[in-house]
């Protein structure tokens, strides 16, 4: 018997049986129950430095850089599976295999896959431990990089295991990098496997991941649990698991609003969540930058909480000009960087962070100068840092109920067509906006960059069931509200519209506070808008641009509703709805018909 099964730190029989079963299958050298302590962090980071997986970042306290295998840098959507019994339940937007097929295939891969390695058992909780029903998980992994990343990203360790007691329900999440070591074989700095599977069993609430060490594929509490499995739980239990930031906005009069925003990966959630308003007297506080769980409050309103404990942000483009609060968060240290450059001075650098250093080591470990051909950092390089270090973290962050939502923003990255901001007519129209959300693809997932695709509610890669059922659940959430006036108002934003020369029309970042101001003033009935075929839109004079040095033509162009562009969008939406098929709610076809007739198309 491998050590670690004797004297385990829990008497949870189900958990012990699962750990024993996985150990028997994967045959690790030893089992370590992760306690989440500082000593564990120190031990594992030192070990990883010795192995060459991590390099210290001396310019920042207790911070490290990981360079991944160049073939393991992003989420692998093509290798992500929803394994429901009935393929219809996974729907047309997910890859599907039967649970039996996937279990058989992956059991073969897992057989002996941890040979020569340590198997870590990570008890974790997504969301507050004080929640009415804490959302426990246990990740088993053979990657120490995953353990230290989970230290940052989730509440984990002994206190969670204790809270689980002897019989708590939990989501079992199994991860192996798929790189067993033969006796005497030396390890590589970033073990992984060319064969990758990120599999979800929504009916039994299980996650099996194999072959990748990259965060989105390996930190299984995040996308796999909090979004894919979470969305399936939410459908069954009457709540929503969403790819959303959460922020608190306070007006100069001291009025407090809470806004969530769903933008696809690498489209500005982390930036907006930590925004520094450029308009005087307005204040933003952060609650979450990637995932929100939306549940009904006792007051009949929809409340949002952030199940995560850290920030896993896109590094390139982050600097004191665009996202000063992210920089201040990182500056405090205890941060893991992945695939960024390291300067001669021992600090991190990436594209978009001011002047490039004269000399650096790039993300592949090669010498790099500003004259080098390639990028210093991978476009999907990341910082992983404790959310508690964020200087503008809201004091409501730890509240298990979350915060009541006033407005939901949907947004994508579109060079044309989509105006800076549009308010939906009502909840169902808002669901239509979310369901037809489109965006140009980014480096956050493997594949071609810059292609327009539908990304409903920014959840295309994360809906754990049939997308038609998911839209129906959204519409149903609106219907189950005891009072429609208590529902959040929905807005559609686009920070990424471009002029003929390819430049952004809207300055974005801190200036987005001007859009937030219009949003909350709409809620108050203070701001003006005009009704257009696509919803309620501001005129240039409705946006506060005081102190903003901006060409009025650019502002007008960023706000413009161009019927011709919208007509060109119609067949794409029709194609999309047809693809969703017979589970698409009829209300959404009715919304499309209504839009057509408002545009004068029949
Ligand atoms: P994930 O963490 O992958 O889910 O993505 P995210 O939505 O958090 O994206 P993030 O905030 O990290 O933004 C990524 C990219 O969008 C960076 O290149 C930013 O510079 C850019 N970006 C963010 N906000 C704006 C904006 O208002 N305007 C423009 N032009 N770019 C922006
Ligand atoms: Mn994300
Ligand atoms: Mn982010």
Collapse the DSSP code of 275 into the 3-class scheme (helix H, G, I; strand E, B; otherwise coil) and give the result.
coil
pLDDT given for residue 441 in this prediction: 81
Torsion sign, CA atoms 219, 212, 43, 164: positive
485-496 mean pLDDT: 97
Which segments of 136-268 does DSSP mark as H helices, in order? Answer: 144-153, 158-164, 215-218, 230-237
Give the mean pLDDT of 333-341: 98
State the Cα–Cα distance between residues 158 and 363, nearest whole angstrom.
34
Residue 192 annotated in active site: no
Pocket test for ligand 1, best of 215, 271, 284, 510 (most atoms within 8 A of CB): 271
User: Per-residue pLDDT tens for 199-221?
Assistant: 999 999 999 999 999 999 999 99
Name the helix (H) or strand (E) containing 407: strand 407-411
Work out the average pLDDT over 66-80.
94
**Ramachandran area for residue 252 (φ above 0: left; ψ -120 to 50: alpha; else beta):** alpha
For ligand 1, residues with CB inside 6 Å are 263, 265-271, 289-290, 313-314, 316-317, 322, 444, 495-496, 504, 508-509, 512
User: Quick check: 564 pLDDT over 90?
Assistant: yes
pLDDT exceeds cutoff 70 at 186: yes
> What's the CA-to-centroid distance between 6 and ligand 1, angstroms?
47
Buried (b) or exposed (e) across 179-200, using 16+ Cβ within 10 A?
A: bbeeeeeeeeebbbbeebbbbb
Q: Which of 83, 267, 384, 390 is catalytic?
A: 267
If you average pLDDT over every residue of the chain, what do you get? Answer: 96
Q: Is 305 helix (H, G, I), strand (E, B) or coil?
A: strand
Residue 530: HSE in the Cβ half-sphere, 13 Å Cα cutoff: 11
Average pLDDT over residues 460-473: 98
pLDDT score for 2: 67
pLDDT at 1: 53
Q: Average pLDDT, stretch 494-499?
A: 96
Closest-lying ligand 1 atom to the alpha carbon of residue 273: 11
CA 584 to chain centre: 25
Residue with structure tokens 């509240």? Answer: 399
Q: How far apart are CA 73 and CA 70, in angstroms?
A: 6
| ipTM > 0.90 for the complex | yes
Confidence of residue 364 (pLDDT cuts 50, 70, 90): very high
Q: Specify the residue with its C-alpha closest to ligand 1, atom 20.
A: 317
Question: 127-179 pLDDT, tens per residue?
Answer: 999 999 999 999 999 999 999 999 999 999 999 999 999 999 999 999 999 99
The pLDDT of residue 147 is 98
Ligand sitting nearest the alpha carbon of 443: 1
DSSP code, position 225: I
Q: Nearest 5 degrees, angle CA 474-CA 594-CA 438? A: 55
Give the position, in ligand 1's atom list, of the atom nearest the Cα of 317: 20
**Measured distance between the N- and C-terminal CA atoms of the chain, rounded to whole angstroms:** 71
The reported pLDDT for the residue numbered 21 is 98
Ligand 3 centroid from CA 245, angstroms: 8
Task: Report pTM.
Answer: 0.97
Distances (CA, A) of 115 to 174, 177, 374, 463, 574: 15, 11, 37, 34, 51
- Residues 591, 592, 598, 602, CA torsion sign: negative
In this prediction, residues 49-62 reach a mean pLDDT of: 97
pLDDT on residue 6: 82
pLDDT of residue 90: 98
Report how far residue 385's alpha carbon sits from residue 331's, in angstroms, rounded to the nearest whole number. 10
**Which pLDDT score, from 0 to 100, does residue 317 have?**
95
Locate all alpha helices (DSSP H) within 304-420, ordered by sequence.
324-331
Residue 508 CA: which ligand 1 atom is closest?
27
Residue whose CB lies within 8 A of the most ligand 1 atoms, among 242, 262, 267, 493, for a mutation test: 267
Tokens representing 230 are: 């979470």
The rounded Å distance from CA 261 to ligand 3 centre is 11
Q: Whose CA is nearest to atom 10 of ligand 1?
A: 268
The per-residue pLDDT for range 263-282, each reduced to its tens digit, is: 999 899 999 999 999 999 99
Ligand 2 midpoint to CA 337 (Å)? 16
Looking at the CA of 227, name the nearest ligand.
2
Is the per-residue pLDDT at 4 higher than 80?
Answer: no
Cα–Cα dist 276/266, whole Å: 19
Question: What's the rounded mean pLDDT across residues 553-575?
Answer: 97
Instruction: Point out the ligand 1 atom lying closest to the alpha carbon of residue 509.
Output: 27
Q: Which ligand is nearest to the CA of 274?
A: 1
């Amino acid at each position: 018997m491998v050590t670690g099964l004797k004297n385990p730190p829990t008497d949870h029989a189900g958990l012990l049986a699962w750990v024993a079963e996985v150990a028997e299958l994967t045959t690790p050298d030893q089992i370590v129950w992760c306690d989440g302590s500082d000593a564990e962090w120190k031990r594992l980071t030192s070990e990883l430095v010795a192995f060459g997986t991590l390099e210290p970042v001396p310019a920042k306290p207790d911070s490290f850089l990981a360079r991944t295998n160049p073939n393991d840098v992003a989420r692998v959507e093509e290798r992500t599976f929803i394994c429901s019994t009935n393929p219809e339940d996974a729907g047309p937007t997910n890859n599907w295999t039967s649970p039996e097929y996937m279990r058989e295939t992956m059991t073969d891969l897992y057989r002996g896959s941890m040979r020569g390695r340590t198997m870590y058992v990570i008890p974790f909780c997504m969301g507050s431990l004080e929640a009415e029903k804490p959302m426990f998980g246990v990740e088993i992994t053979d990657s120490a990089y995953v353990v230290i990343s989970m230290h940052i990203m989730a509440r984990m360790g002994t206190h969670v295991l204790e809270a689980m007691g002897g019989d708590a329900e939990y989501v079992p999440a199994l991860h192996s990098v798929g790189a067993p070591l033969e006796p005497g074989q030396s390890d590589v700095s970033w073990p992984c496997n060319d064969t990758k599977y990120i599999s979800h069993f929504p009916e039994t609430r299980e996650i099996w991941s194999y072959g990748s060490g990259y965060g989105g594929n390996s930190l299984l509490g995040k996308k796999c649990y909090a979004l894919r499995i979470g969305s399936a739980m939410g459908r069954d239990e009457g709540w929503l698991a969403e790819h959303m930031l959460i922020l608190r906005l306070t007006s100069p009069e001291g009025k407090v609003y809470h806004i969530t925003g769903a933008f696809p990966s690498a489209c500005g959630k982390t930036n907006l969540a930590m925004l520094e308003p450029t308009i005087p007297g307005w204040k933003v506080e952060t609650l979450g930058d990637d995932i929100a769980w939306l549940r009904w409050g006792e007051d009949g309103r929809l409340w949002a909480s952030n199940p995560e404990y850290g920030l896993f942000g896109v590094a390139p483009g982050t600097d004191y000009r665009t996202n000063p609060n992210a920089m201040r968060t990182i500056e405090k240290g205890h941060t893991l960087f992945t695939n960024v450059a390291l300067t001669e001075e021992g600090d991190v650098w990436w594209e978009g962070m001011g002047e490039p250093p004269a000399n650096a080591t790039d993300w592949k470990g090669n010498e790099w100068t500003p004259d080098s051909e390639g990028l210093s950092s991978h476009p999907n390089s990341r910082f992983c840092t404790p959310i508690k270090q964020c200087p503008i973290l809201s004091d409501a962050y730890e509240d298990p109920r979350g915060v009541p939502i006033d407005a939901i923003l949907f947004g994508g990255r579109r060079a044309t067509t989509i105006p800076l901001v549009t308010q939906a007519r009502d909840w169902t129209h808002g669901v239509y906006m979310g369901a037809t959300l489109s965006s140009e693809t980014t480096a956050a997932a493997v594949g071609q960059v810059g292609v327009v695709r539908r990304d409903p509610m920014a959840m295309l890669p994360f809906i754990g069931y049939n997308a038609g059922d998911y839209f129906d659940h959204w519409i149903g959430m609106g219907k189950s509200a005891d009072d429609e006036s208590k529902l959040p108002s929905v807005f559609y934003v686009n920070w990424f519209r471009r002029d003929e020369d390819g430049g952004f029309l809207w300055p974005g970042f801190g200036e987005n506070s001007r859009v937030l101001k219009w949003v909350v003033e709409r809620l108050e009935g203070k701001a003006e808008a005009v009704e257009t075929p696509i919803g309620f839109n501001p005129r240039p004079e409705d946006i506060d641009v005081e102190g903003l040095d901006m060409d009025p033509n650019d502002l007008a162009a960023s706000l413009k509703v161009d019927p011709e562009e919208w007509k060109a969008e119609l067949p794409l939406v029709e194609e999309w709805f047809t693809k969703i098929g017979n589970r698409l709610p009829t209300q959404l076809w009715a919304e499309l018909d209504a839009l057509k007739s408002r545009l004068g198309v029949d």
